[in-house]
Amino acid sequence: MGYFLQQLINGLTLGMIYGLIAIGYTMVYGIIGMINFAHGEIFMIGAFIAFITFVVLGLVGIGWVPLALLIVLLATMLLTSVYGWALERVAYRPLRHSPRLAALITAIGMSIFLQNYVQLLQGARVKPLQPVITGGMRFLEGGEFAVTFSFLQMLIIFVTLGLMAGFTLIIHRTALGRAQRACQQDLGMASLVGIDVDRTIALTFVLGATLASVAGLMFLLNYGVIDFYIGFLAGIKAFTAAVLGGIGSVPGAMLGGLLIGLIEAFWSAYFSVEYKDVAVFAILILVLIFRPTGLLGRPDVEKV
């Protein structure tokens, strides 16, 4: 029982991280109909920027955890969002009216470029971080498996839920959100009624990058170590989450993220840890074959 609860907590925490990244995928797909293949790299860059900021703060001597966290959070969000903006501006906007294949190739090219960019600048080895947030609550100490619910995990869950709530507010209450939903429905029409489509799309990328950067920070805190390759794997899993939840649907992305996190945690705990990634990939393939609209997505009827 204790073991099960532990996996549940671990899975939820992991799922929060995936969900944050998945929202970026689903938003971009919803608005311009393409998979932002380089989104995983944005997540990775967020993690690296967070790491560097921590190291700098450490050297400068800012030790009080809440302040450090706040600074790191703000710096990561700000600097990574610029990457999101630049990605769209440089690689995707010129190809908005080109065949989809071209846009996908560009995305893959950017993904390769960003991975190697970070690798060349920061070195290929893993980057370890001293634990920043320690301690937690323990349950079921008398039973066969004591459950630990760490403060870090609580923080991750809390912050993520807060961000998702804020984000949903933006989508449904603000002008940007309305513009975005309009563009998602019909890009041409949205521009005809006066919506600045370029700006809306750019802001979508920026928002997605911001969320992914927070995910990167969480990842860094949770695992304590990062390298330039984490974007690839996390990216595919987050994409799987977006597809599982229904691509184009933000609540779907959150739900999908949670499910993938749980599946990964339980699979590696109860079956085999080597094949946990295979499990996630298999889910991706199965969902796309049997229910491509995902759990919360709308069926897509092709116009002939």
Partner 1 sequence: MREAAARALAFDLAGALKDAGLVAGIVVLLTIALVGFRTQDASGGAALSYRFEDVFAVAALAFLGRLAVALLRAHRPRPVLGASVLFALALTALLLHGAETRLLPFASAPFNWTIAIAAWTLSARAAWLLWHSASELSAEARDALMDRIGARVQRSAGFLGPLLLVAAVTLPFLPWADRRLLDIATLVLTYILLGWGLNIVVGLAGLLDLGYVAFYAVGAYSYALLALYFDLGFWTCLPLAGILAAFAGILLGFPVLRLRGDYLAIVTLGFGEIIRIILLNWYEFTRGPDGLSGIPRPTFFGLPITRTPPEDGHSFHSFFGLEYSPIDRVIFLYYLALALALITNFVTLRIRKLPVGRAWEALREDEIACRSLGVHPRNTKLTAFALGAMFGGFGGSFFATRQGFVSPESFTFLESAIILAIVVLGGMGSQIGVVLAAILLIGLPEVFRELNQYRMLAFGMAMVAIMVWRPRGLLAHRDPTVRLSDHGPPR
Partner 2 sequence: MNPLLSVEHLTMRFGGLVAVDDVSFDAPARRITAIIGPNGAGKTTLFNCLTGFYSPSAGRMTLRHPARGEFLLERMEAYAIPAKAGVARTFQNIRLFPGMSLLENLLVAQHNVLMRASGYTVGALLGMGRYAQAERRAVDRARYWLERVRLVDRADANAGNLPYGDQRRLEIVRAMCAEPVLLCLDEPAAGLNPRESAELNELLAFIRDEHRVTLLLIEHDMSVVMSISDHVVVLDYGRKISEGTPAAVRSDAAVIRAYLGEEDEAAPGRP
Q: Applying CB under 8 A, which residues contact partner 1?
A: 34-35, 45, 48-49, 51-53, 55-56, 58-59, 75, 78-79, 82-83, 85-86, 90-91, 94-95, 98-106, 108-118, 120-125, 127-128, 130, 232, 236, 239, 243, 274-275, 277-278, 281-282, 284-285, 288-289, 292, 304
Element (H, E) at 225: strand 225-226
**Among residues 22 and 147, whose Cβ is nearest to partner 1?**
22
**Cα–Cα distance, 36 to 236 (Å, whole number):** 11
Per-residue CA distances from 113 to 48, 88, 108, 116 (Å): 16, 14, 8, 5
The residues, any chain, with a CB within 8 Å of residue 90's CB and separated by 6 or more, are none
**Cα–Cα distance, 259 to 265 (Å, whole number):** 10
Strands (E), 12-166: 127-128, 136-139, 147-150
**Among residues 100 and 173, whose Cβ is nearest to partner 2?**
100
**Binding of residue 101 to partner 2 (CB under 8 A):** no
The residues, any chain, with a CB within 8 Å of residue 152's CB and separated by 6 or more, are 133, 134, 136, 221, 222
CB-neighbour burial class of residue 84 (10 A; exposed 0-12, middle 13-18, buried 19+)? buried
Least spacing, CB of residue 178 vs partner 2, in Å = 24
Interface with partner 2: number of residues (CB under 8 A) = 3
Least spacing, CB of residue 285 vs partner 1, in Å = 5
Q: Which does 113 bind (CB under 5 to 8 A by kind): partner 1, partner 2, none?
A: partner 1
Of the residues 101, 121, 193, 304, which one makes contact with partner 2 according to CB under 8 A: 304
Least spacing, CB of residue 167 vs partner 2, in Å = 28
The residues, any chain, with a CB within 8 Å of residue 148's CB and separated by 6 or more, are 6, 136, 137, 138, 139
x/- site string to partner 2, residues 271 to 300, per CB under 8 A?
----------------------------x-
Q: Which does 301 bind (CB under 5 to 8 A by kind): partner 1, partner 2, none?
A: partner 2
**Binding of residue 301 to partner 2 (CB under 8 A):** yes
Residues that bind partner 2 (CB under 8 A): 299, 301, 304
